[in-house]
Amino acid sequence: MRGRPTGLLATGVLMALVALVLNACGGGASGAGGSGGGEHHQQAKARPLPEEKALRPGEYHSVKFKPPLSFHVGKGWRTSSDLTEAPDRLIIAEGKEVKGFLNLLIFRNVHEVYDARSHKWVDVNSSEELLSWFQHHPNLKVGKPQPVTVGGAKGVEFDYALAEDSPNPAPKTWRYSDGLTGSVDKGSYNRGIILDLDVKGEPVDITIGCATSEFDEFLPKAKKVLDTVKWEGA
């Protein structure tokens, strides 16, 4: 009977040692900040977005775009030399070109739009001004804005396309700091998102755009990426 407690004691000591080792391993992560250390490790895994490359599934962060952000992509996404990242533009594409259109997910901080009535470029200083520009554009058919949140930033989303009686190609719509311009062309369909996340007074706009026939299939893929967006400092 005396040997039995001794065996239990040895077993207890062994289990205590195992628990101590496990706690020590866990303590290393906890000592780095607990859950915060794990979050830092996850952020460290994000890769800088390359200029021209098929993207491996994983998390990427912007290099030039402001405000800085990160997001996760699955298979099939890429960047291109034609879609170079800039301080006010970040574009990734998914799939192959269909009917002359790529499936695009575009991030912008908008500072200048084309006024189709006065035929000149005008400054945009708030998300309200940008939404009003969309809604009153004579060449665009714009749906009713609905509330949306991307990466914790609130805003509105709406669908838009070139109006049937508009010229094709339509007048330019927005202009970037490097001089490149964008337009909405016949045969494309878009989901616009305007966020209350201003950069020096310039509203942040996101566009999900593709050929009209591809929109229903592409939209959930683009939204899956948007569900992973993290704004630096937000």
Give the pLDDT of residue 197: 84
**Under 8 Å between Cβ of 121 and 173:** no
The two tokens of residue 6 are 């001794």
Give the pLDDT of residue 81: 73
Give the pLDDT of residue 205: 96
pLDDT tens string for the chain (234 positions)?
A: 333 333 333 333 333 323 323 333 333 333 333 334 444 444 457 899 988 789 999 999 999 999 999 999 999 999 977 778 999 999 999 988 888 899 999 999 999 999 988 889 999 999 999 999 999 999 999 999 999 999 999 999 999 999 988 876 666 898 998 888 888 988 999 999 999 887 777 899 999 999 999 999 999 999 999 999 999 865
Give the pLDDT of residue 169: 66
Give the pLDDT of residue 222: 98
Give the pLDDT of residue 19: 36
Report the b/e string of 9-24 with b at 16+ CB within 10 A.
eeeeeeeeeeeeeeee
Q: Where are the domains of the chain?
A: 3-40, 47-231
pTM of the model: 0.79
Q: Which CATH architecture has domain 47-231?
A: 3-Layer(aba) Sandwich (3.40)
